[in-house]
Chain A
């Protein structure tokens, strides 16, 4: 029982202590276990029983997932059922048992090898990837040859799920059971489907651990600290105690924060502010409101594209947008048109690999080139705007006026088409842009005149402005949101919007960091959009201060020479004037 600590990315906060259950990976065997002729019928019978078991499981899963997450997600299991019932597949397995005189395990493995060769030779990316569906079905079948393996899987015991990666279907299934205490994965990051799901279900998760599956075995004790992105394997007693008390504190903290969620969003001197939620799934709307969100400040639409292997249709888009628009009631929903291209590539889109993706064909630039897809998305957004008249269009990666003009033309064209086809939509649907390119920031005073609102994407803006790739560990120390240059830029953007009496939001991580959020408040920002789980702590920080003093602190802090001087000055002043503002059990 070796003690070990691993660092990864905390993608869903909270702490859990529990026993490891490794998610079964590829189980196929290359070992040929020979049998006698008399045993052939026995093996065939085992196969038959396994097929029955798998069939029952798939049907159950299909029904459960259909109920919990919707029939869109359960379709995959229907396809799996068809694969399982595929006569040519099953008869081939039986044939191998008989001909090779081998156990069913080897026969299943061999059939998989045969089919995977076939799939690998396919050029089309979509059809090539169907191999994973076959693998999924055959590994279930394989496990079901032994009855006790299934029993062990369905024990309902609380556990910490450790895996290399989880397919979206697996994640939906396993995390919705209610007995997964935490998740630790070799790969993945904040925006992976599993991460989103873990957050919305309040399950602590750490990803990008690279080798956790090789370091642990079933039954090991594991601490998963999703807040700090750490995993501790077989902790000594003292460390376990330490984390258990942290866990307790965290729970009290969460309870307290939930209370905060219901309080008014006002500073001590009655300045009204608006916490909004950044979300990626329609299911996150409910969570957002329970955390105190007063609207959806950023709905990332990429998941609609990543979810299916095909390009989504207007109905696919509409289904999602209309659900969010409906659930958000009166509060605004900012729908950002698709921001892919560059690194976040989609096989369906046929975008060529670029040498410098961050500076390449991405966001609105790609939408302009793929007008058909863009219009499909716009049509769906516009149609959803009819429901509660709360939907807004938001364009990512805008650099200049020309792009806004082009977008307006396309939107007008789309509106006319919808009119002709007798579709309803909100005539006054608001159009806004993301300010994330430094050039756009520099001319935000003229850009803001062309749109109804602006939203500052601080993550990308700061990366571009400081020329620092945050994920590059050699330079990430230079990523400083409170760098005086950044504060000056933000002040200019916010004031530009205020002069035109337009709304301005920050939807980057700065809005979720208490100290940065206070700085933004001081600069005049009133709309803070963030991952909903951070809303309570930001609300708490903003509610504990007076705007007029924070404004003074920031103005003074901006005259400092370095990020460090800014931080020190600002922090000191806040701590002495409002000692409670930054208090949270996470840091104490």
Chain B
């Protein structure tokens, strides 16, 4: 199990487009992927769940990933967040 905190840096936060990108990527991995923000935990493969977190720019979330491809999954998802979901600004 990998548990790591990451900061949402893109301007719009985990909005619909970003959430769709996140889930799209998460679905490629077999591992279970959870996102925790404040005291709420949601499924990282659920767009709806991610939206209910209302993670705006600057908020901190924790990724909890467990499964046999957890390392690859973490790297890929972390890169996506780090790259601001490939948004222009």
Interface residues of A (CB under 8 A from B): 75, 78-79, 82-83, 86-89, 115, 118-119, 122-124, 126-128, 130, 133-134, 309-311, 313-315
Contacts and interface: CB of A to CB of B under 8 A. Distances in A.
Contact of B48 (A115, A123, A310, A315): A115
Contact of A88 (B16, B19, B46, B89): B46
B56 A124 contact: yes
A75 B16 CA distance: 10
Contacts of A87: 43, 45-46
Given A86-B47, A313-B87, A133 B16 contact: yes
Interface in B48-67: 48-49, 51-52, 54, 56
**Residue from the set B13, B20, B51, B88 with the largest chain A CB neighbour count within 10 Å:** B51
A111 to B, nearest CB: 10
Nearest to B47: A82
A115 B49 CA distance: 10
B46 A130 contact: no
B51 A127 contact: yes
Contacts of A122: 52, 54
Contacts of B51: 127, 130
B87 A83 contact: no
Nearest to A313: B88
20 contacts: A75-B16, A79-B19, A82-B19, A86-B49, A87-B45, A88-B42, A88-B43, A88-B46, A89-B48, A115-B48, A122-B54, A124-B56, A126-B15, A128-B54, A130-B51, A134-B48, A313-B87, A314-B88, A314-B89, A315-B88
Given A87-B43, A88-B43, A313-B87, A78 B54 contact: no
Given A82-B47, A126-B15, A309-B15, A118 B88 contact: no
Contacts of A118: 52
A310 B15 CA distance: 9
B23 interface: yes
A118 B42 CA distance: 13
A355 B23 CA distance: 44
B87 to A, nearest CB: 7
Interface residues of B, number: 23
A134 B89 CA distance: 27
**Residue from the set B13, B47, B89 with the largest chain A CB neighbour count within 10 Å:** B47
A79 B43 contact: no
Interface string B15-50: 111011001000000000000000000110111110
Contacts of A134: 48
B77 interface: no
Contacts of B56: 124, 127
Contacts of B16: 75, 79, 130, 133
B15 A83 contact: no
Nearest to A118: B52
A110 B80 CA distance: 35
Interface string B61-89: 00000000000000000000000000111
Given A89-B48, A115-B52, 20 more contacts: A75-B16, A79-B16, A83-B47, A86-B47, A88-B46, A88-B48, A88-B49, A115-B48, A118-B52, A119-B52, A122-B54, A124-B56, A126-B12, A126-B15, A127-B51, A127-B54, A130-B16, A310-B11, A314-B88, A314-B89
A88 to B, nearest CB: 5
A89 B49 CA distance: 9
Nearest to A376: B89
Contacts of A82: 19-20, 23, 47
A54 to B, nearest CB: 15
A88 B49 CA distance: 8
A79 B22 CA distance: 12
Contacts of A133: 16
A257 to B, nearest CB: 43
A83 B16 CA distance: 10
B88 to A, nearest CB: 5
A133 B42 CA distance: 19
Contacts of B89: 313-314
Nearest to B42: A88
A87 B27 CA distance: 11
Nearest to B55: A127
Contacts of A88: 42-43, 46, 48-49
B48 to A, nearest CB: 5
Contacts of B11: 310-311
A309 B16 CA distance: 10
Contacts of B47: 79, 82-83, 86
Given A86-B46, A310-B12, A79 B52 contact: no
